[in-house]
Chain A
Amino acid sequence: MTGKPGPTSAKPVVNKYLVMEKSRLNETVFKIRFLANDIAERVLPGEFVNVRPGPTFDPLLRRPFSVYLANPEEGWIDLLIKVVGPGTELLSRLEEGDLVDILGPLGRGFDLETVGTAVLVGGGIGIAPLVFLAHELLFLKKPVHFFQGFGNAGEVCGLEDLEALKIAPVVSTEDGSFGVKGLVTDPLRDFLRKQKDPEKIELFCCGPNPMLAAISNLPDSDRWKAQFSLETRMACGIGACMGCAVPTFDGEQYRLVCKDGPVFKKNEVWL
């Protein structure tokens, strides 16, 4: 039950784009807005861009980021950048007016063709593609439920953008310092248990792999549909290096996160 792959934009472009603004959402997460007309007008929820950390070759490789929000009318895209190493550290130091080399849009995004009731489930920085998705789902007039987990209150980000969409997420933290104490799967499990019509439910999930695996192992998981956005180490982003392979559910082959994903249907890949 893997279904056909999700949608993919027209051709990607590689270009230098202007930083319009930057804001800090918490200790390590920055939101950066780029003036990128040709990406903004084509990118679909769940697709990503591959960003060069700087103009030199050190650090070397591009860093992949799901698009957090896109505004085709104003021609900008927002990315959430969490500082985890030297590449993201450099990106976090960008200032308004800087030019950044971005390749995109890339990959296959969320498939919204059959969605009934959408349940969005994010873990940490995994909130990024889900905010863009929520935007699109509201435009399509679909009911949206949002579950978002963080490690602690210091890691919380993105909630004000959901608020602007009038979405009230169920937020949990592992240490209980913000929202419900526990894993995001705890309130999600309760919610799913109460659903009279689980067949109409479709989950859209992005977060650490153990979280995605836990979701796919929830009780009655065969009754609802699910799509998972994955993160891996990646080099080219265009299906050439084959570095971002993940095993298929049957363990027989591999899929490329950059080209076949980053969004995969339930039971398509091994989480």
Chain B
Amino acid sequence: MLKFILRRLGISFLVLWAASLLIFVLTINAGDPLADLRESNAENRESLMALRTEQMGLDLPWYERYWEWLSGVGGCFTGSCDLGTTVNGANVLDLTAQAAGSTLRLVTLATLLAIVVGIAAGIVSAIRQYTGFDYGVTFLAFLFFSLPVFWAAVLLKEYGAIRFNDWIASGDMEPPMILGFALVAAAIIPAVLGGPWRRRLYTGAATFTFVAVLLYVLNVLDWYRNPFFGLAMVLLTSLGAAVLVTALVAGLGNRRVLYAALTTAVVGTLSYLVFAGVLLEPTWLQLIGLFVLAIVVSIAIGAAWGGYARKQAMFISAVTGVITSGVIVFDILVAHWAGFLELKSRPISTIGSQTPNFSGDFWESVLDSGMQLILPTIVLTLVSVASYSRYTRSSMLEVMNQDYVRTARSKGLSERAVITKHAFRNALIPITTIVAFDFAGLIGGAVITERVFGWKGMGAMFQEGLDRVDPDPVMAFFLVTGTAAVLMNMLADIAYAYLDPRIRR
């Protein structure tokens, strides 16, 4: 394996080098770096042009300019990295670090969400092949896939930001809005659950009533402006998640696993009380520490309950622990919402990754940057979800029709065990490649999203560099995205070995 990785690294390095040469030459020939000066009628235009020519080395042949860049990058191996400067005199290394940071923040959540939602939608639509739900998912997948990002972003800003902000000023849901939401829920949930028409009709009616009443009650309570969640709800949600995860992965018949998960949920909720002081005004480090602690404790609980199903119990406990932590954070954020609204009466901005000069406490600042993450994340997720759900569906369908799945069924295994244990894992193999590629692509490919939402990420750096025919930022962009692509590919290969026993050596 090590030899394989090393060989892959060696080849990737050569590929990166050759590509860097190509990109460099293409970039410096992409336009006229003096264009803005040529149309200027400043008196010392000539000397300004001469200065920039000297600064950017425009009078040098391309290979000398490339060599200068390459030797600067070569310095990274000896600890004196120099990625050059932009036309505006900014240090490209610092710029890249900042841009990469902001892009990662943007892309990570979107990728995770897309994986979860996309794969879930894919599996369900494969299981419910040729039903209304399947057609619905297919339709939406193609719709999202062909969505022009800039257009979707403008629409999202209009409805997700401007109209939402107008609405939250009163936080009052009109009856047509409530009925609309209830109808949508009533259409989706029976389709997912399936069953004969009568059952669907009942589930649909129940869902409709439930959602409508719920929204109405929330409205009466002015919940949207002054939301409240509470410890009881945290416990209830965590327990619900524990049961759901167990039901999906191990089956409720496995009592040991179920008890492990339930214990985790209870312990997690109790720990909320214990750490309440820290959680109210934490630092990021404390928060991460607590999260790690939560996972460790969850795994320990799983191990203690586990018995014959130790491994599974540990896994499910850990997942429950993560979900419980999430629910706790959600509760804290909900509690801070009213205060946040007071600081920022229009909670979702159309531009920027945070509100300038925002003066809230820790959680209010989290809410502020979280709100700013919502719209771009939706855009990026929609596009990725589309392809993931299609790939998962087809690969799942293929696996489901294989002989060994029929064998598993004829052994008398439950449908859940067949799907999650036998089919799903094998269906994942092709998806890994796509996810890895996609993540690498998103780092550099979120150009339009970043621009439209005013995030200064890798895409913006690339675009500005190219606009001004300034090779240094473009090359820095290439270095990061190129390396990410290579690394992600390798990770996919390693994940293959893990997922597919046939190529494990």
Is chain B a partner of chain A in the same complex?
A: no
Interface residues of A (CB under 8 A from B): none
